[in-house]
Structure 1
Amino acid sequence: MSTVASSSSVEPQQQGSIETEQSSTVGQILPQQPEFKIIKKKLNQGYVGFANLPKQYHRKSIRQGFEFNLLLVGKNGLGKRTLINTLFNRDLTQKAEVDEDEVSRLLSEKLRRLQLQESLNDANNLENSNDNGSKVNLKSINTVIEENGVSLRLNVIHTEGFGDYINNTDSYIPILKEIERRYDYHLEQENLISRDMSEFKDPRIHCVLYLIEPNGHGLTDLDLEFCSKIGSIANLIPIIAKSDSLKTVEETVEFKTSILKQLDQHNIEFFKPSVYENDDKENIAYIENLVEKFPLAVMAGTDLDSNGNRARVYPWGTLNVDNADHNDFTYLKDLIIKQFMEELKEKTNKVLYEEYRSQKLVQLGIKQDNTIFKEFDPVEKLIEEKSLHEAKLAKLETEMKQIFQEKVLEKEKKLQKSENELFLKHKEMKEKLMKQLKALEEKKYHLEMHLQSNGGVDSTKADETSKNGSVNASTTTKEKKKGFLR
């Protein structure tokens, strides 16, 4: 294009001479070439393109699908199965149920093989032996639900026999161990060297829905024990089941206040949706309104009324399940499914599981080493080895000093013991000599008295005898003393 522009800028006289020369040589006249305009587009420098990342995540989510694991706990007769069917608007109980799903079965086998924790085996033996006279069975429902092109792999675990026995002590143990087994299975899969994350399914419990009996008097000891044990390891959501059995709205509000007070007194944690900085005012107001209604009083039902709404029909009137003025079922559905399902999964992954994982690794004796993936530096390695060697020498020196002090103390104790023994021996010999000396003096006294009574000659002999005796005694004592002192 530069050549065209230059040709167009030629003066007319020069063009005419060129055309006459070309006509004389070739015999043709070239037409005058038009001018070309250069169009320059200006790009928007502020646009990069990462604003489309949510669309990419949306495509990825649609392709991979979602998964959710829900644990439903409550006494028999509180409508657990009806609540499941009402939440997901289909009859899930028609699916085949087994006592232990495939994830739990594989988990149990690997835990026995690797022997991660002996207490888990003890707990399983306790469940199988049924020492306390009660048995809690865990039933699993695994299904895939599709809605508007979005698929959800749903795993619902519900209990049978919870709180139905006279002695319900430690009824929470099978449920607690089920949550821990799933955590252990996930931890084991994370630590595999060769793994296919595309085929990996998250077995962790994302939500524990606990059904409270609508007695109107508050939580029982069994409720408090279960909530205190489970609230620290899983997302606990306590709800009042069959709220339509409560007579008035005032009774329901009073019952909720009593439950919240008991939960606060026992420091029981339960899931509450969080408010973030970038949330709009409407979302913040909705979350605050939702939290004020805790614990949610819900009723469930799949029967339809004359208007086609899910409702429970009574002689005195009709209660609509999906009407927020009649019960809190819509808030429960928003909390678990529509609004905060991803938040439940995120808290399970980043808070509850991470805390359990760190405690588990510490119990297994695994310490964190931040130098594993550092680059190798010979100088730093020598400095580190030198410091370790100096520390080792200092430790050996301290141990040698301690051993030397112990030897000195032991020798001093032996010398002190021998000195005490010699002192006692000296004292004993001195006492013996004093007794002998006293006996000789008594003999001398008796001899003198005898000689005085017998006369002069006898007295002279007695004197000599006594002198000789005294000399011998003194000589004996001197020899003994001299030998002892030597």
Structure 2
Amino acid sequence: MSSPAKMMRRKKNVKKGIQFCLMVCGASGTGRTTFVNTLCGKSVLNHKDSDDPNDAHVEEGVKIKPVTVELELDEEGTRISLTIVDTPGFGDLIDNEASFAEIVGYLERQYDDILAEESRIKRNPRFRDNRVHAMLYFITPTGHGLRELDIELMKRLAPRANVIPVIGRADSLTPAELAESKKLVMEDIEHYRIPVYNFPYDIEEDDEDTVEENAELRGLMPFAIVGSEDIVEIGGRKVRARQYPWGVVEVDNPRHSDFLAIRSALLHSHLADLKEITHDFLYENYRTEKLSKSVEGGAGVDSSMNPEDLASQSVRLKEEQLRREEEKLRTRFSEQSWMLVYYVIFWSMGLVC
């Protein structure tokens, strides 16, 4: 049975809907577009046209392309406004320094927008929070560990986003090659100390189900992704799959792909946790860095702001932080009150001792 707190959050989500922002990044040909379209159950991103040989000398670099789609997650009518931020062109150049800066810059601009909104005396009721809550990094299915490009990007993005590594087009590897690749990738992540989102849990504080679920998801990392926009009939069943001369790879079959696991984590079980970490940890760290630079008069500060304006901004931001803490305490108290109500009801029905 779901806890009263989860039931309350679920009802609230059904009523007002959810906003979530997912960035997908990786070299061309790693299956980002197919994954996104499979995740959403419809065509959201367009597949790249065949390269024109006449344009081979043109170096365009990475492009940031956000697109928002409305989805219905379950039978209860829970809706989500899902923003997908695609990064076509990443990894196509010999020198990807500009691509790193472009992606990090995009993430920080979303934080800057929130920072500016929090500093306003009068808030904009139509303001939309576009911070990226999770970043799926698609690793090329080579059967080996991480490349220098992979290591550099994940290390640069980890302070600004919840980085989740996945192996794109995993069906191009044999089961043995895939298992070895997963092992090597995780060894590299540990060796280079890349702070990826690893489905954290605390054995002493979290309940048994949470610990078991997170340990299982952590064991699947990096997730083996297989996507398909084609429907194939197998034994009277219509399934999303990729068909080959040697057989069929089913997208939603856990024995063939980790697609269901990552979809469930992103859009259901860990959606709230990813948003909380983005706001309470990643954004707060960025905000603190920004305020420190403001006080010290360092880089990134608007030179037109005088000391009084800076002090006023700092006070408003501190008030905003206190307001959020107060709101958290109120929510926690409300959830505990509802838990007590449910307990009394269940006790009166003889369902608990």
- After superposition, residues 285-324 of structure 1 pair within 5 angstroms as 285-306=212-233, 307-324=237-254
Q: CA deviation at 1:292?
A: 1.2
**Of 276, 285, 309, the match for 1:346:** 276
- After superposition, residues 12-51 of structure 1 pair within 5 angstroms as none
Q: Quick check: 1:134–1:167 contact (8 Å CA) kept in 2? A: no
Please state which structure has a larger fraction of its residues in helix: 1
Secondary structure in structure 2 of the residue aligned to 1:237: strand
Say whether 1:195 aligns with 2:195: no
Say whether 1:70 aligns with 2:22: yes
Q: What is residue 223 of structure 1 aligned with on the other side? A: 150
Q: Partners of 1:283 and 1:256 in 2: how far apart?
A: 23
Q: What is residue 137 of structure 1 aligned with on the other side? A: 63
Counterpart code for 2:168 = A
Secondary structure in structure 1 of the residue aligned to 2:97: coil
Q: What is residue 339 of structure 2 aligned with on the other side? A: none
Q: Quick check: 2:18–2:81 contact (8 Å CA) kept in 1? A: yes
**Of 94, 117, 123, the match for 1:166:** 94
Q: CA deviation at 1:54?
A: 6.0
Q: What is residue 84 of structure 2 aligned with on the other side? A: 156
Secondary structure in structure 1 of the residue aligned to 2:232: coil
Q: CA deviation at 1:274?
A: 2.4
CA 1:152–1:258 in structure 2 vs 1: closer, same or farther (change >3 Å)?
A: same
Counterpart code for 1:319 = V
- After superposition, residues 258-273 of structure 1 pair within 5 angstroms as 258-273=184-199
Say whether 1:80 aligns with 2:32: yes
Q: Partners of 2:230 and 2:171 in 1: how far apart?
A: 15
**Of 152, 169, 173, the match for 1:242:** 169
Q: Partners of 1:255 and 1:66 in 2: how far apart?
A: 35
Q: CA deviation at 1:156?
A: 0.5
Among all aligned residue pairs of Structure 1 and Structure 2, give the percentage whose two residues are the same amino acid. Answer: 32
Deviation per CA, 1:116-164: give whole Å up to 9, x if none. Answer: xxxxxxxxxxxxxxxx955211112112223432221111010111111
Q: Partners of 1:358 and 1:77 in 2: how far apart?
A: 38
Q: Partners of 2:180 and 2:269 in 1: how far apart?
A: 27
Deviation per CA, 1:150-205: give whole Å up to 9, x if none. Answer: 221111010111111233234211000000000000111111100144x3321111
Q: What is residue 349 of structure 2 aligned with on the other side? A: none
Counterpart code for 1:321 = V
Normalised by the size of structure 2, how large is the TM-score? 0.74
Aligned length: 283
Q: Quick check: 1:139–1:158 contact (8 Å CA) kept in 2? A: yes
Secondary structure in structure 1 of the residue aligned to 2:194: coil
Q: Partners of 1:250 and 1:356 in 2: how far apart?
A: 41
**Of 13, 24, 28, the match for 1:61:** 13
Secondary structure in structure 2 of the residue aligned to 1:358: helix
Q: CA deviation at 1:309?
A: 1.0
Q: What is residue 362 of structure 1 aligned with on the other side? A: 292
Q: Quick check: 1:134–1:171 contact (8 Å CA) kept in 2? A: no
Q: Partners of 1:329 and 1:149 in 2: how far apart?
A: 22
Q: RMSD between aligned alpha carbons? A: 2.4
Q: CA deviation at 1:229?
A: 0.4
Q: Which has the larger radius of gyration?
A: 1
**Of 132, 151, 157, the match for 1:205:** 132
Q: Partners of 1:305 and 1:53 in 2: how far apart?
A: 40
Counterpart code for 1:146 = E
Deviation per CA, 1:448-480: give whole Å up to 9, x if none. Answer: xxxxxxxxxxxxxxxxxxxxxxxxxxxxxxxxx
Q: Quick check: 1:133–1:167 contact (8 Å CA) kept in 2? A: no
Q: Partners of 1:177 and 1:152 in 2: how far apart?
A: 26
**Of 200, 205, 210, the match for 1:283:** 210
Secondary structure in structure 2 of the residue aligned to 1:219: coil
Q: What is residue 255 of structure 1 aligned with on the other side? A: 181
Q: CA deviation at 1:252?
A: 1.1
Q: Partners of 1:225 and 1:253 in 2: how far apart?
A: 23
Q: CA deviation at 1:214?
A: 0.4
Deviation per CA, 1:386-430: give whole Å up to 9, x if none. Answer: xxxxxxxxxxxxxxxxxxxxxxxxxxxxxxxxxxxxxxxxxxxxx
Q: CA deviation at 1:58?
A: 4.2
Q: Partners of 1:280 and 1:353 in 2: how far apart?
A: 27
Q: Partners of 1:55 and 1:145 in 2: how far apart?
A: 20
Q: Partners of 1:234 and 1:241 in 2: how far apart?
A: 20
